[in-house]
Chain A
Amino acid sequence: MTGSSRSAIEAVGVTRVYELDGVSVHALRGVSLSVAVGDFLAIVGPSGSGKSTLMHVMGGLDRATSGRLVIGGRDVAGLRPPEMARLRNETIGFVFQAFHLLPRTSAVDNVALPLVYRGLNARTRRARATEMLERVGLSHRLRHRPSQLSGGEQQRVAIARALVTSPSVLLADEPTGNLDTVTGQAVLALLQSLNESVGVAVVLVTHDRDVAARAHRQIVMRDGMIVPTTEGTGSAIVESAPSGAPGPSADDGPWRPIPHSGSPP
């Protein structure tokens, strides 16, 4: 495990309980996890396993019911909503399955959106957003609206938006979920290269084993808990080969009942 001093996000015994029509739903039942600076981590598990909730909590979008959560060196327990908003703005970048780009807004203005809440002037915002779009290979699409972009391009705009604030962690919830395989691979490759070149820690939430295999390490979730794996004693980490081939433990994991159709190279 990486030491806490080098952690971008540190969660200890985090729980999240929803009240749904008077019934308590335990989405997270005590998750401890550390995301190191420059980490590339995949959180895998079936739907309903709590992986999205974990991502929301780690990103400061949702609040833990109990447990300790430190984001960017700050314990979020005492933070009020405006402070949480600022923390998200400064340290976290989100990438969503549905892209969540503002319609009727150009790519460059979509990317510049997080900088609006930093109070930067329009020229600076646009300059940084343009630079970021160039970085994701969309310098020729600055003025295009989301409806004029392909799915892969939209997700790259979303990635540029997530990174324009130079966050320490990028949280991606099923970033390839709405994309075809080839486009998805390209987006993953982009995340990978950004992880290496910019040094931003990437947390990939997915139920796709192939996608997870791209990460340096994998965490398997089930029923709101991290599943201890056969490898690593007591550790919830699945080390996978940097080549992207899934480890044997992941294959045997109970979280993916659908047979794997493609074979790794």
Chain B
Amino acid sequence: MRLAEAWRVAFDSLRTNRLRSGLTMLGVVIGVAAVVVLVAIGTGAKREVERQVEGLGSNLLIVVPGRVDFGSAPAVSRLSLSDVDAVTRIVGDRSRVAVSVTSGETVRAGAAARFTSVLGVLETTPSVFVRALSRGAYLTRSDVDTGRRVAVLGSAVARSLFGERDPIGQQVSIAGVRFRVVGVFAPLGQSLGVNRDDEVHIPVTTAHRLFGTQRVDGIAVKAPDRGQISQLGARIVDELSSRHPDTEFSAVTQEQILGVLGDILGVLTGVLAAIAGISLLVGGVGVSNIMLVSVHERTREIGLRKAVGARPRDIGVQFLLEAVLLTTLGGTTGMALGVGGALLVAALSPVPAAVTWWSLTLAFGVSAAVGIVFGVVPAQRAGRLDPVEALRSE
């Protein structure tokens, strides 16, 4: 029998049992759609995180005390401004070094109040990280050197304290101390689960007085180019270790952060795909079941076809194609539904679903493979039927 003819026979048989074929396909449709949507969500989440990490700035090196490792408690910082000066000497450029010391404080303006993160920083922050201002100006070196009580507000803080009014030049009180607003950040949105619009920057020297500490939590360095990052990191860690022999220091690069997060999200995507894959498998079992029913129902037809000259292979191919047709039609529908579902998720929820070609190819390939795998047993059974017994069956 010609292959085209076999396809036609398979298609006709599905068409004559529309409802049954449709319901059987539904299992595959749901499985494939689930694979496409869930992989799209996983991929979208991963891309979003990458975008955010890269959005921090480029060629960044974060130096923190302690070991950066999962399961280890954050170490208490022993870093001080003299350590920052030592790091600056290694880097050779003050504008490439940023620090921060953070404390949660209540910020008030008139009757309005907001509890937010207050960061003591150097004036170099915008040259190390990507931070744009929407109004006013950032802190200056003299602000830092003289410990002025000036503040730059995050866009969310500015909005909740001043509404639509211009906060520049206005007074705010932080932990009961009056500050003058000199700038407002442009909205940045969420980054790695932190709302970066909900913070206030003040000079690190002022922060030390306010918080009653001499420490800084961490030092960020922007390397001149990518190739120098690891070498620079090692030199900084060496220097800090010699200054604090009893403390361990770590230098973390963006690539390392991306690598760790990417691994986590990759696992997450894999788990999602596996769950969806199980539903696809269940759909495949449904196909197998229906094909066995179909073989049983059409036993006489098989007997007749054999009597008029169909070889076992002809019969087997006919039923196999029927199964493959079921799953590929279901797979195609599932792909369309999955793409539609992913677009819908991306449009209606904050989850940035991204449909990938590999997930489409995989889902379609798997559904076709499911048809073959789950069609083989019924097809073989059909092909091996004894024609005499088959013709005799009711």
Q: Are A62 and B388 in contact (CB under 8 A)?
A: yes
Interface majority SS on B: helix, strand, loop or mixed? Answer: helix
Q: Are A165 and B309 in contact (CB under 8 A)?
A: yes
Residue among B306, B309, B312, B391 with most chain A CB within 10 A: B309
**B15 closest partner in A (C-beta):** A104
Q: Are B308 and A114 in contact (CB under 8 A)?
A: yes
Q: Are B5 and A116 in contact (CB under 8 A)?
A: yes
**A102 to chain B: which residues have CB within 8 Å?**
301, 304
**B198 to chain A: which residues have CB within 8 Å?**
none
**B314 to chain A: which residues have CB within 8 Å?**
85, 117
For residue A190, CB closer than 8 A to chain B, the reply is no
> Which of B16, B300, B304, B306 sits near A85, CB closer than 8 Å?
B306
**B384 closest partner in A (C-beta):** A81
> Which of A81, A90, A161 sits near B312, CB closer than 8 Å?
A81
Number of A-B contacts (CB under 8 A): 64
Q: How many residues of B contact A (CB 8 A)?
A: 22
**B5 closest partner in A (C-beta):** A116
A216 to B372, CA, bound (A): 52
**A125 closest partner in B (C-beta):** B5
Complex A-B, nearest 10 residue pairs according to Cβ-Cβ distance, in ascending order: A89-B309, A114-B308, A117-B309, A82-B311, A85-B311, A100-B304, A62-B388, A94-B307, A61-B387, A56-B388
On B, residues with C-beta under 8 Å from A are: 1-2, 5, 16, 300-301, 303-314, 386-388, 391
**B9 closest partner in A (C-beta):** A116
Chain A 75-89, CB within 8 Å of chain B: the 1/0 string? 000000110011011
Q: Are B307 and A88 in contact (CB under 8 A)?
A: yes
What would be 14 A-B contacts, judged by CB atoms less than 8 Å apart? A59-B307, A61-B306, A62-B387, A82-B313, A85-B312, A88-B306, A89-B309, A96-B391, A100-B391, A102-B304, A113-B305, A114-B308, A117-B1, A118-B309
Q: Are A86 and B1 in contact (CB under 8 A)?
A: no
**A86 closest partner in B (C-beta):** B309
**A122 to chain B: which residues have CB within 8 Å?**
5
A89 to B387, CA, bound (A): 14
For residue A119, CB closer than 8 A to chain B, the reply is yes
Residue among B303, B305, B308 with most chain A CB within 10 A: B308
CB distance from B236 to the nearest CB of A (A): 77
**A161 to chain B: which residues have CB within 8 Å?**
308
Q: Are A100 and B300 in contact (CB under 8 A)?
A: yes
**A122 closest partner in B (C-beta):** B5
